Amino acid sequence: MSELIGPHGGKLCDLYVDANRRKEINEASRDWPSWTLTERQLCDLELLANGAFSPLTGFVKQADYESICAKMRLADGTLWPMPIPLDVTQDVADTLSAGSMLALRDMEGLLLAVLHVEELYTPDRHAEAEAVFGTKNTEHPGVDYLFNKTNPVYLGGRIEAVNPPAHHDYRSLRSTPKKLRAEFAERGWTKVVAFQTRNPMHRAHFELTYRAAEEQQAKLLVHPVVGQTKPGDIGHYVRVRCYRKIMGHYPEGTAQLSLLPLAMRLGGPREALWHAIIRKNFGCTHLIVGRDHAGPGSDSSGKPFYDPYGAQQLLREHEKELGVSMVPFQLMVYLEKKACYMPIDEVPEGEKTLQISGTELRRRLNTGEAIPDWFTFPDVAEELQIAYPPLHKRGLVLFFTGLSGSGKSTVANVVVSRLQEYGGRSVMLLDGDVVRTNLSSELGFSKEHRDINIRRIGYVASEVGRAGGIAVCAPIAPYDATRKHGRILAGQAGASFVLVHVATSLEECERRDRKGLYAKARAGIIKEFTGISDPYEAPTDAEVTITTEGETPEESADKVMAYLREVGILPR
């Protein structure tokens, strides 16, 4: 009888201590310095502790780190492509030395593990970026994280795990390698093909995973990442609802769904190798690897960060050593006449094929147009349609920006009345002056304070949008980056964001000078006045531009309303 594949390095690690040791650590930890784990570190710790990162028994020390960067191997030669150190601030590092104990806690302060600090070292992050990601371009999310979100000092050392990180969602779908292996063993699943994904699964994914398992005469593990994925990805709650639906389409006893709390680095080929090692630890013998596996796509000049087949190639080179086979997959397309899916390479010449891109799917969801059955199973489509209703039923952040006296508030007020006439969604106005009285009364007009003010407005507005309401904002918001931050927040909250530039000229604003502020600013009585003694960065990304010169507030509001109807944010 065949046996389950062995873990990477020969031994499945389990870093959890027994009850006595837990008690000891809990008591002693009160005197140890503490570190609050970042989201990424929480993911790393969970997978270290439960053995998904076997043979690692802690955060990597310098010799391993250097060897991983240079050779994709630990210092002892074991294949391992991704550095997993614990990065901490200089302040915390200053309280530590080799031999220190560091209590690792979650954001609520719960003790999850203790790190036996064996080494502190300062990495050369540029060299790390080049070695691990093959680029120093911060458009690569892994590089951006490394350069902008990683703390300066790395710690390496053994871990003793005390409590697993708390997950309140989908608990029945979160299996440790030990548990999954036990389940596989019980069912006699010795050949298992893993499918890694960070996206919802459509018919093409179903077809390719089904075929891959059939061809290998193996079972299938649908193993989506629910830790950190690519910024902008569909959140895991929606995805897991979709995965659950798709699982019902596989024949009974052929496939299993399990969630992987991995923090992806989007490292392309290296990451693919890492994925294979992790899946091996979960008891899988095969990994499906597609085009640009775990890559972040292309940079702003359109150049792909990785060779689209680099991951397949690297895995193939290490298949033997690893014992995990790479199952390549090609793009699956739908043949209209035959009403079936086929790898693009096998399509007979002249045969009409159908495909729906991610952009087209988003367009259909935005407009409420039907999603065809051949593309997505109807029960999966329904989940997506519930999560992404048409734009006219989603929340909206309507953000006016412009100089003081440009007419922002006047036009915003007309727009608010019009939106209320439409009904359907509750409307809230966050006017510049009103916000400064209620939400930001302690703030002045320095760049720092203006940024705090706009970030607050962006936050409140995005929460209104999250709840399906409309937030109309009308501050000056002179800085491009802060406005863009508001756009990102709205997007993360699932709301539309529309920027309206009220482009009334400085001359006109000053001529009107309704509040007499421009005169005071010219006289130097008011300091840091926008347009006079403080900058205004005119937007280049506004969806609507209006000028109140030679146009009534009603006419300006009409333009805004027309745009909202045109793009489907308001029903026609």
Positions touching ligand PPS (CB under 6 A) are 404-405, 409, 432-433, 435-436, 445, 450, 453-454, 475-478, 515, 517, 526, 528-530, 534
List Cβ neighbours of 316 (8 Å cut-off, separation of 6 or more): 326
Q: Are strands 153-161 and 58-59 parallel, antiparallel or unpaired?
A: antiparallel
User: Cα(160)–Cα(112) distance, rounded to whole angstroms?
Assistant: 9
Least distance in angstroms from the C-beta of 516 to ligand PPS: 10
Least distance in angstroms from the C-beta of 450 to ligand PPS: 4
Residue 112 or 411 having the CB closest to ligand PPS: 411
Residue 265 or 483 having the CB closest to ligand PPS: 483
138 residue type, one letter:
T
Least distance in angstroms from the C-beta of 481 to ligand PPS: 13
Residue 282 or 529 having the CB closest to ligand PPS: 529
Q: Which residue is nearest to ligand PPS (CB)?
A: 432
Which residues are the active-site residues? 197-199
Q: Cβ(246)–Cβ(236) under 8 Å?
A: no
Q: Which DSSP helix (H) or strand (E) runs through 281? A: helix 268-281
Q: Cβ(352)–Cβ(337) under 8 Å?
A: yes
User: Cα(125)–Cα(142) distance, rounded to whole angstroms?
Assistant: 12
User: Cα(48)–Cα(80) distance, rounded to whole angstroms?
Assistant: 13
Is the C-alpha dihedral spanning 233, 235, 238, 239 positive or negative? positive
Least distance in angstroms from the C-beta of 515 to ligand PPS: 5
Least distance in angstroms from the C-beta of 309 to ligand PPS: 49
Question: What are the backbone angles phi and psi of residue 224, rounded to the nearest 5°?
Answer: -70, 150
Residue 375 or 536 having the CB closest to ligand PPS: 536
Helix, strand or coil, per DSSP, at residue 469: coil
Residue 341 or 529 having the CB closest to ligand PPS: 529
User: Cα(10)–Cα(2) distance, rounded to whole angstroms?
Assistant: 17
Question: What are the backbone angles phi and psi of residue 423, rounded to the nearest 5°?
Answer: 75, -170
User: Cα(501)–Cα(148) distance, rounded to whole angstroms?
Assistant: 31
Residue 214 or 541 having the CB closest to ligand PPS: 541
Question: Any idea what DSSP says for residue 185?
Answer: H
Least distance in angstroms from the C-beta of 192 to ligand PPS: 56
What secondary structure, in 3-state letters, does 315-361 show? HHHHHHHHCCEEEECCCEEEECCCCEEEEHHHCCCCCCEECCCHHHH
Is the C-alpha dihedral spanning 44, 48, 53, 59 positive or negative? positive
Residue 553 or 568 having the CB closest to ligand PPS: 553
Least distance in angstroms from the C-beta of 452 to ligand PPS: 9
